[in-house]
């Protein structure tokens, strides 16, 4: 059943792209949404990304998921599709030479799913600057450090609560993304809006 659905999805993807029914980005988002719907039968489930990367048995076309990025339930759990080639979207290179492409579904993309830490222990500049060119990003409540200028190409989203910038004890710029409360709504930091920080530049 799952194989038949995957075949139908592949045929639909080809038709969409070949007939120019959507832009390439819209087609990619549809592809990822369909993949997420079909991936209830994940081939493998891992506690963290390192376990996924070291699995030599994975083959192209398999759907897998993780319960966390660095550790189980750290907020970075996600679904992936195994591919032969590196995607323009975020992907992890496996030890067997294949790639695990993040199934992000729709925007915004949670920064924890591609390895950003929100505990104030990691410089997130490189990861955020790479992904903000492609995606609208979502920052769960926490503390994010940045040693480099962050160039924001899209809107950013963060959890409701105080949001702003400061310096930590090491002098790194800190993005403070709210304090988690009962509300599940998110706060948008608009592209071009200087209220998030005078330190950020907007493109």
pLDDT one-digit tens code per residue, 102-124: 987 666 788 899 999 988 788 88
Residues 96 and 116 placed together within one structural domain of the fold: no
| Average pLDDT of the chain to the nearest whole number | 72
Residues 116 and 96 in one domain: no
- Total count of domains within the chain: 2
Q: Please identify, among 102, 123, 143, the residue that sits at the C-terminal boundary of a domain.
A: 102
pLDDT at 104: 76
Is the model's pLDDT at 13 over the cut of 80?
A: no
Percent over 70 (pLDDT), the chain: 53
Whether residue 95 is found in the same domain as residue 128: no
Whether residue 84 sits in one domain with residue 46: yes
pLDDT tens sequence across 137-163: 887 777 778 777 777 676 666 654 444
Q: Which of 18-22, 87-91, 122-126, 164-168 has the lowest mean pLDDT?
A: 164-168
Q: Residues 96, 162: one domain? A: no
Same domain for 136 and 59? no
Domain span at 149? 109-202
The per-residue pLDDT for 136 is 80
Split at pLDDT 50, 70, 90, the class of 9 is low
Angle at the Cα of 122 from the Cα atoms of 117 and 128, rounded to 5 degrees: 65
């Amino acid at each position: 059943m799952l194989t038949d659905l995957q075949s139908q999805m592949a045929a639909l993807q080809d038709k969409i792209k070949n007939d120019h029914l959507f832009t390439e980005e819209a087609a990619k988002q549809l592809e990822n949404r369909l993949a997420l719907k079909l991936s209830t039968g994940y081939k493998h489930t891992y506690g963290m990304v390192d376990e996924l990367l070291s699995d030599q048995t994975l083959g192209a076309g398999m759907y897998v998921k993780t319960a966390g990025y660095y550790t189980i339930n750290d907020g970075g759990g996600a679904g992936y599709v195994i591919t032969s080639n590196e995607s323009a979207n975020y992907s992890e290179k496996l030890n067997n030479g294949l790639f695990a492409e993040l199934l992000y579904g729709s925007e915004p993309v949670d920064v924890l799913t591609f390895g950003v830490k929100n505990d104030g222990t990691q410089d997130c500049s490189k990861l955020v600057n790479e992904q903000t060119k492609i995606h609208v990003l979502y920052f769960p409540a926490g503390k994010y450090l940045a040693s480099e200028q962050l160039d924001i190409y899209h809107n950013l989203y963060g959890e409701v609560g105080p949001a702003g910038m400061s310096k930590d004890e090491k002098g790194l710029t800190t993005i403070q993304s709210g304090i988690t409360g009962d509300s599940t709504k998110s706060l948008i930091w608009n592209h071009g809006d200087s209220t998030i920080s005078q330190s950020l530049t907007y493109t």
